[in-house]
Structure 1
Amino acid sequence: MAGIFEIAEAGGKKYFFKLTASDGTVVAVSPLFNTIKGAAAGINAVRENAATGLIVDKSQARSKSIGSHHAAMKVSTGPGARLAPS
């Protein structure tokens, strides 16, 4: 089963969404949106960009070990997916 996007109200007429994996693990939580339409647009943006997005590791450990010019990575999305240097 694929992940599930859930839109919830955060009080004060603000909304957010969370992405939950099929095993129940919360994978991502969005910032607050002023409208449900805004939250839905955020979900669509994640859907459109997640599979092709770069991972940029800005952690200190990675920067010190290989240098920041190698920190951008492409994401492989097939079976056995892993991080690969760009």
Structure 2
Amino acid sequence: MAGIFEVFLDGDSFFRFRLKSPDGAVIAVSTPFEDKPAVVAGIAAARECAGMGLVTDLCPVASVREPAVTVRPSAVPHRAAPPACDEPRTASDGFRTRAKELRHAASAPRWTGAA
């Protein structure tokens, strides 16, 4: 199920919208708009951009914590550590191959057969 946009008046008598998840949690609240046509245009822009928005990580590296180990270390199979973000990836890690597979799957028709 998709999220729900709610239009409301804030305390300063400006129009705003909020995006709520299907379970009712508020995901985002807009900036203030002067009138209803402007808030409707803001909702249209949010709908258009939300699916293709890029993610920019602004968190400092030091803020990432390692998860606590709840299992004995000897019981966990050893895996090679993934390359750090600043290390260049090589074609041998399968990154480009996997990206190509994902692009191919995304460009394939979603529905096949007669309706």
Alignment of 1:24-39 (within 5 A): 24-39=24-39
What's the secondary structure of 1:54's corresponding residue?
Answer: coil
The answer to which structure, 1 or 2, has the higher relative contact order (CA under 8 A, 6+ apart) is 1
Greater than 2 Å deviation, 4+ residue runs:
64-67
Q: Tell me, which stretches of 5 or more residues in structure 1 are unaligned? A: 68-86
Q: Distance in 2 between matches of 1:18 and 1:48?
A: 16
Amino acid at match of 2:59: S
Look at both structures and tell me which one has the larger radius of gyration over its CA atoms.
Answer: 2
Instruction: Please list the CA deviations of residues 33-76 of structure 1 after superposition, one character each: whole Å capped at 9, or x if unmatched.
Output: 111111111110010011111011112237x9846xxxxxxxxx
Q: Percent identity?
A: 39
Partner of 1:6: 6
Partner of 1:17: 17
Q: Tell me, which stretches of 5 or more residues in structure 2 are unaligned? A: 65-83, 87-115
Amino acid at match of 1:58: L
For normalisation by structure 1, the TM-score amounts to: 0.66
What's the secondary structure of 2:43's corresponding residue?
Answer: helix
For normalisation by structure 2, the TM-score amounts to: 0.51
Alignment of 1:66-85 (within 5 A): 66=85
The structure whose residues are more often strand, as a share, is 1
Partner of 2:110: none
Alignment of 1:56-71 (within 5 A): 56-61=56-61, 66=85
* 1:50 equivalenced with 2:50 (yes/no): yes
Q: Tell me, yes or no, if the aligned pair for 1:4 and 1:20 is still in contact at 8 Å.
A: yes
Instruction: Please list the CA deviations of residues 12-33 of structure 1 after superposition, one character each: whole Å capped at 9, or x if unmatched.
Output: 4311000000011111100111
